[in-house]
Amino acid sequence: MKNSQNKSNRFVDKKVLITGAAGGIGKSLVKFFREEGAIVAATDIKLSKINVEAYFEGDLMNTSFCDNLPQKVEEKIGGLDIVCNNAGIITRGKITETTDEDYSLTMGINVEAPFRITRASIPLMKKGGAIINTSSCWGLRPGPNHPLYIMSKAALASLTQTLGRDHAPDGIRINAVCPNEVDTPMLRTGFKERGLDPLTAIESLNKSVPLGRIATPDDIAKVILFLASDEASYMCGSLVEVNGGKPVI
């Protein structure tokens, strides 16, 4: 009985699609949605064994994979109520250090994939559906030296705002979460690339946050679940910053 120990059952029998399900925030999303009774379809470029009702391994750079995914999910798990466009990559470096491939990958995974998945999902979703995009606080206010990532997350934030308005009359709420630093593989690989010890780097980042620590994946997933739930029933096109009190500097 997967729900027996839960305090909350907000998503009983809700059909949920989660992209980037094998990543830091994605794993927390899978765990929390399932704990609250959801039927979860997980997708990632590579999925190691996780407990979900349906797996769809695939590359979000593959446009037909994105276009067809919502329909396949609907057929496999019997509906589509909630979509979490959570997958993303971070591309580092000043514009002069970036390549054409960096541009295509960043815009393809962070913008075009959620665009395509959302476009194909909305016609399948009923009134009461919700789409939650994972943008970034850098999509709201740019930080230094990540122009491609920042541009892509700003595009996703803007898409969220416009779709939030356009599809409110359909009863589909579209919102985004905008985290600051989260302790996931995405953050840790950046330290490794710069030759920094991840533990020391995280300790020093923790000191830069007014709340005293960077976010855990669970901190962010909890806000995504809130946005997906009826508790957020009046939220459409909101960009919710989750930052422990740390502004973009």
Ligand X SMILES: NC(=O)c1ccc[n+]([C@@H]2O[C@H](COP(=O)([O-])OP(=O)(O)OC[C@H]3O[C@@H](n4cnc5c(N)ncnc54)[C@H](O)[C@@H]3O)[C@@H](O)[C@H]2O)c1
Active site residues: 149
- Tokens of residue 27, six digits: 């794993």
Q: Does 26 bind ligand X (CB under 6 A)?
A: yes
Three-state DSSP at 143 gives coil
Q: Which is nearer to ligand X, 186 or 196 (CB)?
A: 186
Q: Does 70 bind ligand X (CB under 6 A)?
A: no
Q: Does 124 bind ligand X (CB under 6 A)?
A: no
Three-state DSSP at 106 gives helix
Q: Taking contact as CB under 6 A, which single stretch among the options 2-10, 31-39, 115-123, 180-188 is the one that binds ligand X?
A: 180-188
Q: Does 24 bind ligand X (CB under 6 A)?
A: yes
What is the DSSP secondary structure assignment for residue 170, as one 8-state letter? G
Q: Is 188 exposed, middle or buried (0-12, 13-18, 19+ CB in 10 A)?
A: middle
In the list 37, 45, 201, 206, the residue contacting ligand X (rule: CB under 6 A) is 45
Query: Which residue pairs, CB below 8 angstroms and at least 24 apart, start in 199-204?
Result: none
CB atoms within 10 A of CB 40: 27
Q: Which is nearer to ligand X, 187 or 232 (CB)?
A: 187
Residues that bind ligand X (CB under 6 A): 20, 22-26, 44-45, 59-61, 86-90, 109, 134, 136, 179, 181-182, 184-187
